[in-house]
Amino acid sequence: MTVVLFTLGGTIAMAGSAEGGVVARLVGADLVAAVPGLADLGHPIDVRDARAVPSADLTYRQILDLVDAASSAVAGGAAGVVVTQGTDTLEETVFLADLLWPHPEPLVFTGAMRNPTLAGADGPANLLAAARVAAAPAARDLGALVVGHDEVHAARWVRKTHSTSTGAFVSPNTGPLGHVVEGEVRMLTRPRRLPPVPGVEADRLDAVRVALHTVTLDEDTDLVTNLFRGRDGVVVAGFGVGHVPPALAPVLGELAERMPVVLTSRTGAGAVLRHTYGAVGSETDLQRRGLVNGGLLDPYKAKVLLRVLLAAGADRAGIAAEFARRG
Ligand code: ASP
């Protein structure tokens, strides 16, 4: 059985350019050629070059197209799929893919923090580990995964937490699901797989507009009001356990009467609380005003989920139920 490799660009596929700096221009055959161990995987690699862009250039629609192409690959008998892309937006793309991926076969995202011109480039090792995970029976039924630094992370919990470290991908709330040890995929824990979100259609996903705003000290409430105009939904990254300045609470409450407003934490780990603090602008106050509790989902993942749910036509109750289930 083959492992299908889709390439989207990113640092893993970068090489020097005449204009200076590295740009994404290596193709899948180059990436595969840089990993001698792939030949011993026991599964031929079937390369499909999809794009060659920095990951800041990717869109939801392109990830939808990728999921469709990956679906065809597993329907055609592939053991699993590897996607290489830039690491900058990988925590979002992998969760988007996870919300749509209906198959037992692993859909494994990876990239590199050091480009191929640097000493100790991590792309080849990450690609080899990702291919091993894509082919591993132990990694089936876990949805979309991120592999980097010989660790396996769940799409729902993984974060990029460092701008340059080769250990940038961590799951602060859970830790990795598993490791690749001496070439063997060792899964330590298997979270319950949630079903994909049905009825997500590309045009609707394109059209849905969701804003994410991180609350800061002494917030400018006028600015916030203007930021949200014309949106279909909003994610707020609040302080700590889900708090905002008191002046912002009524602004968010009014907004929540018109559109879903999801409350998350800007801290990077831990949950939004539900029933501890009572001040104006606290989590209980904001929930009373109609905000949806984002649970353990970080702001970026919450934004992906909200946009997908709106594109699927979910109503207010449906959105709250999905955040309760996935957050
Ligand atoms: N800027 C690059 C990108 O996301 C970084 C990377 O590939 O890791 O495409």
86 lines ligand 1 (CB under 6 A): yes
Residue carrying the six token digits 């602060």: 172
**Residue-level pLDDT at 299:** 98
Domain 3-187 has CATH 3.40.50.1170: yes
Contact in structure between 283 and 273 (CB atoms under 8 Å): yes
Place of tokens 């794009």: 51
In the chain, which segments carry CATH 3.40.50.40?
203-326
pLDDT at 227 over 90: no
Intervals of CATH 3.40.50.1170 along the chain: 3-187
Note the pLDDT of residue 273.
98
pLDDT score for 277? 98
- Arithmetic mean of pLDDT, 166-189: 98
Centroid of ligand 1 to alpha carbon of 278 (angstroms): 42
Give the rounded percent of residues in the chain with a pLDDT score beyond 70.
Answer: 100
The CA 86 to ligand 1 mean position distance, Å, reads 4
CATH architecture of the domain with residue range 203-326? 3-Layer(aba) Sandwich (3.40)
What band does 183 get if pLDDT is binned at 50, 70 and 90?
A: very high
Q: What pLDDT does residue 124 have?
A: 98
DSSP H helices, the chain, are 28-33, 60-75, 90-100, 123-135, 202-207, 221-228, 248-258, 283-288, 299-311, 316-326
Which residues have C-beta within 8 Å of that of residue 303, sequence separation ≥ 6?
Answer: 92, 210, 212, 235
Is residue 88 within 6 Å of ligand 1 at its C-beta?
yes
Residue 269, both tokens: 């780990």
C-alpha dihedral (217, 220, 221, 226), degrees to nearest 10: -130
How sure is the predictor about 36, in pLDDT bands with cuts at 50, 70 and 90? confident
Q: Is 55 in the pocket of ligand 1 (CB under 6 A)?
A: yes
pLDDT at 18: 86
Q: Which residue has its alpha carbon closest to ligand 1 atom 8?
A: 87
